[in-house]
A and B are shown apart, each in its own frame.
Chain A
């Protein structure tokens, strides 16, 4: 803890307090209903936490990566579903930070400063891991582009005000023909479809949407035509450790809930048998290791050093640990665990192994860095970037 600066400590304790008052209290209710936690946007408005990744010069909080991770860990401790809303909005901000010009940034960040949120739309029905297989097109027309196609599994897709959308400007080129666009929610032809009912992260809004002849000006294109894949991958590099931070928070929560349940059920036995004691120790070992890997990744990023490999490692380790720890917690606490909130954490963790690039795709990236550190020596499937 002492390794955090006073400013980071202050942010963390503010986040902890916010989570205790606004998230932990209502997470279960929204998990049950599956409704989007709209109230949270209001609750967070004053703190402008949804603008935590927006640089100060644009009026945001300008938190460095490590500080963002501290906040996300607290949010994950409260509810990974609500944390996912924040993380996905940050993801859209990162894309604009990576590829947007000054005017685009101002435009895109304005809603975030006002407590609104963004979304990042890459996945399509036939293009999940294989990002290059997308068929959404953006055809140049005079001063702008006409977008047609569909996106699925988009977090915040039904509740965001601004979107970063990926579409083919040159279908023949596959991943090299992918481009990124800012699309505002109120553009005609942008049709928001059904929301998914999910095993976990239930209150996080995940939707399918379509573009029917949606017109956007050329000023909405991020970077050059064909930069889309590079932008997407760079953005996901920044986002993966953020998901890992949520996962670490979730896993720590499971442990704390286990201890709470044990002490409630067996008040006169502060220590259970060694079998259970050691299981808890094993779980804590994993959580702490994952936490440090996430923080290390963020520190690399803050220092301006390469962190793509560490990003993949932290996402895989963090979400795998969250999965293991939460399912062990349910099993070890027996019917008491299975009928408590621990079950929610287990359901939430499962989803986190899949989104932001599955943990298999991360392993491709990690093993390539190990086996063939020189670029191109062991080609990844087309569309998987390092």
Chain B
């Protein structure tokens, strides 16, 4: 196989790096401090065509592939992982419409999603072992040709700021193996309310909250794909999401390794820069190795996505791998910087703000396992047993 990117793909990657440096570096700290969704940046992202990457050209998007998507997520994560996360949630929602939507749904949603006039996100998780079987599942009822939704979705990202929630509900809870059904839910649907933003450790500015549905009425045109066809959609979106989160892990990891390496060349103890110590070199080398190998795996899986080949096992393996090293990268990078590494502000004698504490918190929010279905080992084992 060929890992070389086309000139067009490389160009998107370079654009993302330039945008990250010119727009995201400067805002990352303030966003972390205030934690308020940065509305202004959405226009900027749209203006630079980052919001329509996964939307076909015919629908007003860029029609780029998944490789470009992970490049952008990785590049943004080096500067401001919260923005990468906001973008990824949006892109996956747009992808869902592009992939499974009817012509009418595509026409209605995709142009504004591509141009940033609408922001999208996914609502998959519930507060139970898996959607449909917890204490307060989101249930759908057929009603007068359309549907009504009642129940709760948990841990929805971009909650309260999205215009479109690609929402998964259970239509036939008493079926022997209940499956999910996907709906396109507008934020202004009556009967839908958004819970208070949860207090997250990192990725501040990307709001996380519950969605409460009380007999929220949807027309027949809100159905995405087929009735009871949502589980397959959710699985695919979660697999794509795993790859994007892995790209986010790698981006945060590289940012940390590079900062720590640069710090180590300047910090002198025992008469020498600490970068000359093997103990420090080992910490940096192991983190760099993890990031590099993960990136190869991510690229390979993204290529499979673009080829239309099965990629879910690859995505699960990538998820399992980044889960093992993600937080460790930040644990070790901070260790290299010693006391200064844990500073959340501008410590004495240091010109600027130290970023690793923020990246540590962002990383913790990037490698979470959100449902037992997320445990990648199960999928991987099933593929080899």
Collect the chain A residues with CB atoms within 8 Å of residue B129's CB: 266, 269
Contact at A335–B270, with CB atoms within 8 Å? Answer: no
Among B339, B368, B377, B378, the residue within 8 A (CB) of A338 is B368
Contact of B155 among A133, A335, A355 (CB under 8 A): A335
Distance to closest chain B CB from A194 (angstroms): 7
In the complex, whether B293 has a CB less than 8 A from a CB of chain A is: no
- Contact of A327 with B343 at beta-carbon distance under 8 Å, contacts A265-B128, A275-B377 already known: no
Please name 7 pairs of A and B residues whose Cβ atoms are closer than 8 Å in the assembled complex, sorted by A.
Answer: A126-B268, A152-B348, A327-B331, A331-B323, A338-B201, A339-B199, A381-B270
List A contacts of B365 (CB < 8 A).
338
CB-CB contacts below 8 Å: A311-358 with B: 323, 327, 330-332, 334-339, 343, 346-347, 350-351, 353-355, 358
B375 touches A196 (CB 8 A): no
Tell me which residues from 279 to 325 in chain B have a Cβ below 8 Å from any Cβ of chain A.
Answer: 279-280, 323
The CA of A265 and the CA of B335, in the complex, are separated in Å by 35
Chain B contacts of A323 at CB under 8 A? 331
Residues of A within 8 A of B201 (CB): 330, 338-339, 343, 346-347
CB–CB B342/A198 < 8 A:
yes
A133–B269 Cα gap in the complex (Å)?
8
Residues of B within 8 A of A350 (CB): 331, 334, 342, 360
Q: What class of interface size applies to chain B in its complex with A?
A: 35 or more
Mask, B33-55, CB within 8 Å of A = 1, is: 00000000000000000000000
C-alpha spacing A332/B372, complex, angstroms = 9
Q: How far is the CA of A335 from the CA of B134 in the complex (A)?
A: 16
Judge whether A343 and B361 touch: CB under 8 Å. Answer: yes
B360 in contact with A347 (CB, 8 Å): yes
Q: Does A125 contact B348, Cβ atoms closer than 8 Å?
A: yes
Could you tell me if B364 and A266 are in contact, using CB atoms closer than 8 angstroms?
no
CA distance A353 to B361 in the complex (A): 17
B377 to chain A, nearest CB (A): 6
Cα A129 to Cα B374 in complex, Å, equals 42
B270–A128 touching, CB < 8 Å: no
| Identity of the chain B residue whose Cβ is nearest the Cβ of A132 in the assembled complex | B270
Interface contact A265-B127, CB-CB below 8 Å: yes
0 or 1 for each of A271-305: is its CB under 8 Å from B? (1 = yes): 01101100000000000000000000000000000
Q: Which of A126, A130, A266, A354 contacts B339 (CB 8 A)?
A: A354
Task: Say which size band chain A's interface belongs to.
Answer: 35 or more
Q: Decide if A358 touches B344 in the complex (CB within 8 Å).
A: no
Instruction: State whether the Cβ of B70 lies closer than 8 Å to any Cβ in chain A.
Output: no
Question: B116-135 interface mask toward A, CB cutoff 8 Å, 1 = contact, 0 = none?
Answer: 00000000010111000011
Distance of A208 Cα from B343 Cα, bound (Å):
13
* Bound CA–CA A265/B370 (angstroms): 12
Q: How far is the CA of A375 from the CA of B200 in the complex (A)?
A: 50
A-B pairs with the 7 shortest C-beta distances?
Answer: A343-B201, A335-B155, A199-B357, A334-B370, A130-B269, A381-B270, A197-B345
Nearest B-chain residue to A130, judged by Cβ: B269
Q: Is A67 an interface residue (CB 8 A)?
A: no
Q: A126-B268, A338-B200 are in contact. Are A266 and B128 (CB under 8 A)?
A: yes
A358 touches B338 (CB 8 A): yes
What residue in chain A is nearest B349 (Cβ atoms)? A125
Residue in chain B with minimal CB distance to A193: B348
A339 engages B200 (CB within 8 Å): yes
Whether B339 lies near A123 (C-beta < 8 A) is yes
Q: Does A359 contact B (CB under 8 A)?
A: yes
Q: Check if B57 is an interface residue, CB within 8 A of chain A.
A: no
Residues of chain A with a CB closer than 8 A to B198's CB? 335, 339
